[in-house]
Amino acid sequence: MVADSAVTIIVLVCVAVGLATAAWFAQQVAQIKVVPGHYDEHGSAKQTLLGKSVAEHKTEDDEGHADVFTISKAIAEGANAFLYQEYEFMGIFIVLFGILLLVLLGTCHNWYSGLFSTLAFFCGALTSVLSGFIGMRIAVFTNSRTALSARRGYEYAFDTAFKGGAVMGFALVSLGLIVLFILANAYYLYYTHAFSRDHADGQDQTKNMYEALAGYGLGGSTVALFGRVGGGIYTKAADVGADLAGKVEAGLREDDHRNPAVIADNVGDNVGDIAGMGADLFGSFAESATATMVISAQSPSLYSSWPAMSFPLVLSATGIVVCFFTSFVATHLIKVKRQQDVEPSLKRQLLVSTFLMTPVAFVLAWTFFPDDFIIQRGDELSTRKEVKNYYIFFTVACGLWSGLIIGYITEYYTSHSYVPVREVAKSCETGAATNIIYGLALGYKSVIIPVFCLAITIYVGYSLAGMYGIATAALGILSTLAIGLTIDAYGPICDNAGGIAEMTGMPHDVRDITDALDAAGNTTAAIGKGFAIGSAALVSLALFGAFVTTVNLAQVDILRPFQFAGLLVGAMLPYWFSAMTMKSVGEAALAMVQEVRRQFSLVPTDEHGRKDFARFKPDYAHCVAISTKAAVYKMIPPGMLVMLTPIVAGFFFGVEALAGLLAGALVSGVQMAISASNTGGAWDNAKKYIESGATGSGKGSEQHKAAVIGDTVGDPLKDTSGPSLNILIKLMAIISLVFAPSFPSIHSGGLLSQLFS
């Protein structure tokens, strides 16, 4: 085994590589300048792009289009306004919830655990906020530059969008890792020195330390919940409103600058698909790492070894370096030259990172664990499992390669390069109804292979190393997170770039390039959602294992009344949660459609009675305000449902009922999340496939209108309900784990049973 100091060296060096990579890519994107510009007396732009003169700016009077700087600034200001208001509400909730955590753990368990869990909770929440904010800022910084780069062709536009996404990927993973590393070291030093005077048993110290550290994951997922739900409501209210009132009713083009909701739509791409998604995957990373530590702290042969306990940190750290080398494949080795190269280049990132990470995982498992060690759950000798160090490699590899397969299957069901989406597009020939039927069927069918992948991974992980094997499988699927975030952020950046190109009146060939990049981005965004859902399932199960380990629950018997009742209620919760989020989107979209219609009614008419949009100035700010208000207020009820349910169940019905609740929510939520995300992604790309003219129809046709309706229905599925469900299953599990020491004993059946006994 390696020395304790090796952990510190590896983590610090890898974090430095990650932050340097993010700074390097950011500097390259920043070389493309965006400032207010006008044509000179010769009709040429005063601005230059990478040394070549380009006409990227237009005056307000030039064909009614604003310049790139103006549009980019409006998007950035809208995103900032929403995030500041969301974080204001979120900050109040985090403080109140932190106080609740301190009081409950302090009075029901001990004040040491309460204090350290609360501190970790605040650290996780602040890191998650910062991660989402960094992602949003780099996205709005890159989108206009991607649009400008598209004037020079696919290679430049792809590189700009990819590097912008990479800034988010490497910065977020590095930031999350270094904060967790500092927190873990601080707790380790305190518990092994000062706290040891009060507790003679070293293993009890270790258990307390890592149970308290789980608060870091709780803080991250708390922010992620509100970020995903609030951002999802915002973006889909604007998107649905813009599509229904602008495209379907008024017949305007996608991202037409005359549509009052178009700026809110572009803002939503950043606050939902960037800030929310970044906070979501940061939460998965934090939860998987802390769950692994909690489970390993139960085993004497591991808790006495700092390198073995730090395996989650080292695996994530080396993953940063693997992703660093992988990024060069897209930016330097195999560059994108034409439209057909875009999607393969993004998929190649997943394949190369997975391939390179596999031998790294083997070396780490071989060197950071003893040759043989024991994994056990609580004090039960019957749960002891003898594990060899290379078993951990197989569990990590199962998670790693399952993530790749889930990503590729998601691509098959959401890309118009394959049969399923083309069948959905063809179904639009007979109207919106058949489009809806085909899309729902596709989503249901797309669940099959990902669930088998997760089932095999869980079986292998548990067979080799018990719950610890499942936890390390979750680490495996997240070990290449930097690349996963890169290609996920790439999609919204390209989507915004296309909007900016349309709103500023750039030539059609520029919009064709951004549309091609956006179509590939839709697929990679769907891949990212599949990746996030798959990791959430394994993380949730790992947290479940840590929970039953902490409360020393021997088994979850669904034939017992409390557990079976909890199972049914848990399976219902994703439906309840989805109903709340989708209705919120519907109500906000209704207000948006009414506002767009009101503004369109003010459009002046010419002498023939036709609307003269050339003399119309849309009020973007009012639409932005509608989405902001709806998102901030309507994210609270579903958030309360997720946060309070496990606490109420644990206190009033006991940990047995809560265990059934968590199992039901996990099984039901995974199916719903995959189906919803893939259905929405398929409808979106079916619409783009028709718009490309591949079906012989094109924009404005009846087939296209049917596809637009399907895409509008699918928007809240793929960007609000589906992605939020993976946070539901993770957050309920991490809340149960953190609050576990304060719940009544497993024999009491909760406070309700005590009252009626």
Q: Does residue 44 come out as left (phi exceeding 0), alpha (psi in the -120 to 50 range) or beta? A: beta
By three-state DSSP, how is residue 372 classified?
A: strand
Q: Report whether 362 contacts 209 (CB < 8 A).
A: no
Comparing 49-53, 124-128, 500-504, 584-588, the range with the smallest average pLDDT is: 49-53
Give the range with max mean pLDDT: 175-184, 302-311, 518-527.
Answer: 175-184
Task: Find the mean pLDDT for residues 429-448.
Answer: 92
Measured between alpha carbons, how far is residue 126 from residues 99, 120, 130, 166, 175 in Å? 16, 10, 6, 22, 11
CB-based burial of residue 753 (10 Å sphere; 0-12 exposed, 13-18 middle, 19+ buried)? middle
Given this model, what pLDDT does residue 276 score?
A: 79
DSSP state of 244: I
Task: Find the mean pLDDT for residues 457-462.
Answer: 92
pLDDT confidence bin for 379, thresholds 50/70/90: low
Q: Report whether 666 contacts 541 (CB < 8 A).
A: yes
Asked if pLDDT for residue 525 goes beyond 80, the answer is no
CA angle (233 as vertex; 231, 237 as ends), nearest 5: 120
Q: Kindly report the average pLDDT of the chain as a whole number.
A: 82
DSSP state of 611: B
Given this model, what pLDDT does residue 65 score?
A: 46
Q: Report whether 202 contacts 157 (CB < 8 A).
A: no
By three-state DSSP, how is residue 499 classified?
A: helix
Given this model, what pLDDT does residue 120 score?
A: 92
Comparing 9-18, 94-103, 269-278, 744-753, the range with the smallest average pLDDT is: 744-753
pLDDT confidence bin for 113, thresholds 50/70/90: confident
Q: Both tokens of residue 412?
A: 């098959």
Comparing 230-239, 573-582, 748-757, the range with the smallest average pLDDT is: 748-757
Pairs from 195-198 (Cβ < 8 Å, separation ≥ 24): 195/112, 198/112
| C-alpha dihedral sign at 355, 359, 362, 367 | negative
Query: What residue segments make up the domains of the chain, in order of their start?
Result: 65-303+391-601+624-756
Q: Report whether 67 contacts 504 (CB < 8 A).
A: yes
E strand or H helix that includes residue 99: helix 68-108
Task: Find the mean pLDDT for residues 151-166.
Answer: 89
Compute the distance between CA of residue 361 and CA of residue 397 in angstroms, rounded to an integer.
7
Chain position carrying tokens 């904060």: 179
Q: Both tokens of residue 23?
A: 């700074």
Comparing 19-28, 51-60, 425-434, 597-606, the range with the smallest average pLDDT is: 51-60
Asked if pLDDT for residue 52 goes beyond 70, the answer is no
By three-state DSSP, how is residue 53 classified?
A: strand
Question: Considering the chain, what percentage of its residues have pLDDT values greater than 70?
Answer: 90
Asked if pLDDT for residue 40 goes beyond 50, the answer is no
pLDDT confidence bin for 378, thresholds 50/70/90: low
Given this model, what pLDDT does residue 433 score?
A: 92
Q: Both tokens of residue 328?
A: 């060069």
Measured between alpha carbons, how far is residue 283 from residues 224, 407, 475, 532 in Å? 7, 20, 12, 10
pLDDT confidence bin for 210, thresholds 50/70/90: confident
Q: Which residues pair with 372 in a beta bridge?
A: 388
Task: Find the mean pLDDT for residues 599-604.
Answer: 81
Q: Which residues pair with 388 in a beta bridge?
A: 372
Condensed to tens digits (0 to 9), the pLDDT of residues 624-655 reads 888 888 888 888 888 889 989 998 888 888 88
Asked if pLDDT for residue 200 goes beyond 60, the answer is no
- Say which residues have a Cβ less than 8 Å from residue 442's Cβ, sequence separation at least 6: 413, 420, 421, 423, 424, 678, 679, 682
Comparing 54-58, 184-188, 322-326, the range with the smallest average pLDDT is: 54-58
Residues in the chain: 757
- Say which residues have a Cβ less than 8 Å from residue 375's Cβ, sequence separation at least 6: 295, 296, 298, 299, 302, 384, 385, 387, 465, 466, 467, 468
Asked if pLDDT for residue 477 goes beyond 60, the answer is yes
Given this model, what pLDDT does residue 437 score?
A: 94
Given this model, what pLDDT does residue 25 score?
A: 92
The one-letter code for the residue type at 71 is I
